[in-house]
Amino acid sequence: MGILRIANGKPKAYQRSPAHPVKIYNRSPEHIIRIQVANTNLDGLKAIHESYGGSLKAMTAPNRPRNRQAYKITWNSRRAERVLEIVGPYLILKRPQHRLLLEFLQLRQKNKRLGSTHGPLDPEVIAIRDDFHKRIKELNRKGPKPGDTHA
């Protein structure tokens, strides 16, 4: 589980009609929640997919041709929020990520856009969202964490 950051590209020109002036909108990055479950047991993932939806796809690993075929289910945005509500009470190892995502969802509701409801996000809001993105990536990082004393 994590936060996906979509850069959204270059500024875009917008003109409501030929009578109106052309405006340039700086497009803000988007930050969406993404949950993925991967496994080699396709039947188990199909059962989950039937109950909770999402996108079920085969994973490719061209650099590991001997590995068994793996599959993944992906939930984004609102569907991911729904899955978080359902599985949240049962999480043990991913509990810190779950808490961070819930905090992110609360703060994300308070969007500050510049100009109008379709204007770019306030740079402070983008910085806060980027910080959440960085923190969840650190929680999901494999290998020993900084400060771990387990040997």
Q: The domain spanning residue 33 has which CATH number? A: 3.10.28.10
Q: CA-CA distance, 114 to 68, in Å (whole number)?
A: 49
| Residue 17 belongs to domain spanning | 2-140
Q: Is position 11 within any domain?
A: yes
Q: Is position 146 within any domain?
A: no
Specify the pTM: 0.76
Round the average pLDDT of the chain to a whole number and report it: 85
State residue 51's pLDDT score: 92
Q: CA-CA distance, 42 to 72, in Å (whole number)?
A: 9
Nearest to 80 by CA among 63, 60, 105: 105
Q: Phi and psi for 82 in degrees, rounded to 5?
A: -65, -45
Mean pLDDT (whole number) for 20-24: 75
Q: Is position 147 within any domain?
A: no
User: Which tops the pLDDT comparison, 31 or 151?
Assistant: 31
Q: Is position 149 within any domain?
A: no
State residue 73's pLDDT score: 97
Task: Report the relative pairing of strands 30-39 and 23-25 from DSSP bridges.
Answer: unpaired
Q: How many domains does the chain have?
A: 1
Both structure tokens of 54: 């999402």
Q: Is position 45 within any domain?
A: yes
Mean pLDDT (whole number) for 112-122: 68
State residue 148's pLDDT score: 66
